[in-house]
Amino acid sequence: MLPLIFWSALCLTTPVVAGRCKNAPLDVTWPSETDWSSLNASIGGHLLRIVPVAASCWPNSIESHISCNTFYQPDSIDYPIYANNSCLPPNVTGYVHDRGCTTGGLPAYIVNATTEIQIATAMSGVMRALVEGRVVTTGQDPSVGLGLTYGLDASHVLQIRVVTTQGETLVANDAQHQDLFWALRGGGPGLYGVVTDYVLRHHPAPSNALPDLVDAGLAGACMMSTGEAAVRFASLSEATTGVVISQVFWSFNSTSFAMEALVRPVLTRIGRESTPNSGSSAVTITFSTSNLANYTSFISVISGSSAAGSQSVISSRLLGRRELLDTVHTDMTSYLKTALQVQNATAGTFATIGLQGGPGVQQTPPGDWGALLPAWHTACLHFIANGATVDSVTAGSSKRALQDAARWYEAKEHMWQLWAPEAGAYMNETNPFDPEFKRDFYGANYDRLVQVKAKYDLTESLFVLAGVGSDRWDYDLDSGRLCRVS
Ligand SMILES: *[C@@H]1O[C@H](CO)[C@@H](O)[C@H](O)[C@H]1NC(C)=O
Ligand SMILES: *[C@@H]1O[C@H](CO)[C@@H](O)[C@H](O)[C@H]1NC(C)=O
Ligand SMILES: *[C@@H]1O[C@H](CO)[C@@H](O)[C@H](O)[C@H]1NC(C)=O
Ligand SMILES: *[C@@H]1O[C@H](CO)[C@@H](O)[C@H](O)[C@H]1NC(C)=O
Ligand SMILES: *[C@@H]1O[C@H](CO)[C@@H](O)[C@H](O)[C@H]1NC(C)=O
Ligand SMILES: *[C@@H]1O[C@H](CO)[C@@H](O)[C@H](O)[C@H]1NC(C)=O
Ligand SMILES: *[C@@H]1O[C@H](CO)[C@@H](O)[C@H](O)[C@H]1NC(C)=O
Ligand SMILES: *[C@@H]1O[C@H](CO)[C@@H](O)[C@H](O)[C@H]1NC(C)=O
């Protein structure tokens, strides 16, 4: 089975100006309308001028045919603060009425490619002549997935087709372009080229009808919350001064009865240990189980909301057996307190802790690991902490709000370095301002990934925050400029 991914959006923004910065729309060297038209003609009219998703919420701004309530366009990104909150729908976090709606930090153009040839044409000669610069690709990084049962997605990729920034289409597998094949499996998103096709090892979707999942064991996620966040997440009727912990477990081909048999003894022990001799417990425990008919319903139950306008910055760590079992109790207590520290105690905070690992990951042969951070193979928990108040309105700009959050998270980053110096973090769900991002996101693979990137992206056209080689560049949200660090 060959899953063909024939849709890809390239956001062409900025060419290299002789020297330090890539080209930007107001530069004299920015391609003319005629240049853009000829690029458009060479790719079958697939060039789109950006229309920010929320443009229709702003009368008299950029023309849009999408209603204010239904945002979907290739430019949409999860966290608009990273695009300088350039065109927010009214009243979401970060919204300032006077700012209106601009292209601002969003890409100026998008190539809505439907064929590999269009991608190659856009990337190669014509595009380089026009805009030799930054190309941001959208798409998923095939690194994580059903770890517990089958191992991580990156371990099941057999072949990848990729269009490079030079416009070459390469087939990467165990026999050719092995270095690129390795890097594309876990070595960071959008850094090496545009992937048009993955060949994946196929597995049946888990369902209660599959005998091969009996060995899968228990997976799940835990949430710890405080303040108003606890009221919201745990549907409390009033605020509490303590921590609310909700732990969800899931298991395939199991029953409520079997799950309860596993979980009850643990709850009984927690209840007993938290009850002093005087009798009344400091802990309240509630527990319930449910069954889901199939994998589709399961995914929809555990998936979050897709509301617009999120502004968070998080900090996370992959924790293994060593960090969980060999850490002195008092140290552990202090680390957890730091993890739950919050800037605004009234608002409160939350931490989510995913159960990772399992036999699938552990049994993956090292040859199938790709460039994935090695800590994935020993991780038991993916611990995501929050707590910073990310408020671009009070801070005055998205740039300053992100800088403030980065500074506030220094204490948490320091705590992870003490607790789990050898582990690392999942680059897609962590603090992109982690000063140790090379070691924490890529580990021992970093230097080799730099070489692979230099070989396939000769013009350094692909830039990703905290991506491989990103320390050579500075992206300034205020000016919208990507400049080489001197
Ligand atoms: C590209 O060409 C198509 C077809 O002619 C047109 O609809 C589209 O608006 C053009 N794109 C730009 C950015 O001009
Ligand atoms: C935004 O909030 C203001 C003040 O609460 C309200 O008057 C306005 O109707 C809201 N706008 C939208 C589009 O919801
Ligand atoms: C980013 O937003 C700030 C205001 O928060 C604004 O001054 C600046 O011009 C914006 N930059 C871009 C590139 O849109
Ligand atoms: C992108 O191209 C596809 C296929 O031609 C088309 O269905 C889709 O509407 C296009 N998207 C936009 C935003 O123009
Ligand atoms: C599910 O698990 C039970 C054991 O609990 C096993 O007997 C059965 O074969 C498994 N598969 C199916 C399809 O029920
Ligand atoms: C999954 O289960 C739900 C609820 O029972 C049902 O509506 C849906 O059709 C099922 N989907 C598949 C793919 O079997
Ligand atoms: C703290 O959070 C509360 C509740 O969300 C909010 O009302 C208050 O304005 C926040 N304080 C600051 C300083 O941000
Ligand atoms: C990356 O992180 C986002 C936000 O947490 C999440 O929605 C998405 O599923 C993640 N992607 C992958 C491939 O894990």
Could you read off the pLDDT of 30-58 as tens digits, one per residue?
A: 888 888 888 899 899 999 888 887 888 88
Verify whether ligand 8 is closer than 6 Å to residue 247 (CB atom).
Answer: no
Distance 292 CA to ligand 6 centre (A): 9
Residue 125 has pLDDT above 80, yes or no: no
Confidence class for position 484, pLDDT limits 50, 70, 90: very high
Distance 40 CA to ligand 1 centre (A): 6
Q: What is the model's pLDDT at position 443?
A: 96
| Domains with residue ranges and CATH for the chain | 219-274+284-299+308-446 (3.40.462)
3-state secondary structure of 464: coil
- Given a contact cutoff of 8 angstroms between Cβ atoms, the answer to whether 150 and 360 are in contact is yes
The number of residues making up the chain comes to 486
Residue where the block lists tokens 């969003």: 106
Q: Provide the mean pLDDT of the chain.
A: 80
Residue among 330, 339, 342 at smallest CA distance from 381: 339
- Given a contact cutoff of 8 angstroms between Cβ atoms, the answer to whether 113 and 46 are in contact is yes
Residue with the bigger pLDDT between 400 and 106: it is: 400
Residue type, 85: N
Distance 39 CA to ligand 1 centre (A): 10
DSSP state, 272?
Answer: H
Q: How far apart are the first and last CA of the chain?
A: 48
Q: Which two tokens stand for residue 339?
A: 């993890």
Please tell me the distance from the alpha carbon of residue 316 to that of residue 59, in angstroms, as a whole number.
40
Please tell me the distance from the alpha carbon of residue 160 to that of residue 152, in angstroms, as a whole number.
16
Task: State the average pLDDT over residues 409-431.
Answer: 95
- Given a contact cutoff of 8 angstroms between Cβ atoms, the answer to whether 356 and 440 are in contact is no
- Given a contact cutoff of 8 angstroms between Cβ atoms, the answer to whether 372 and 154 are in contact is yes
Q: What is the model's pLDDT at position 137?
A: 41
Query: Which of 43, 109, 112, 119 should be mutated for ligand 4, with most atoms under 8 A from CB?
Result: 112
Please tell me the distance from the alpha carbon of residue 440 to that of residue 375, in angstroms, as a whole number.
9
Query: Which of 91, 101, 393 should be mutated for ligand 2, with most atoms under 8 A from CB?
Result: 91
Residue type, 278: S
Q: Which two tokens stand for residue 269?
A: 């022990």
- Given a contact cutoff of 8 angstroms between Cβ atoms, the answer to whether 122 and 43 are in contact is yes
Distance 347 CA to ligand 7 centre (A): 6
Query: Which of 429, 430, 441 should be mutated for ligand 8, with most atoms under 8 A from CB?
Result: 429
Query: How far is CA 196 from each of CA 116, 364, 441, rounded to the nearest angstrom?
Result: 7, 26, 25
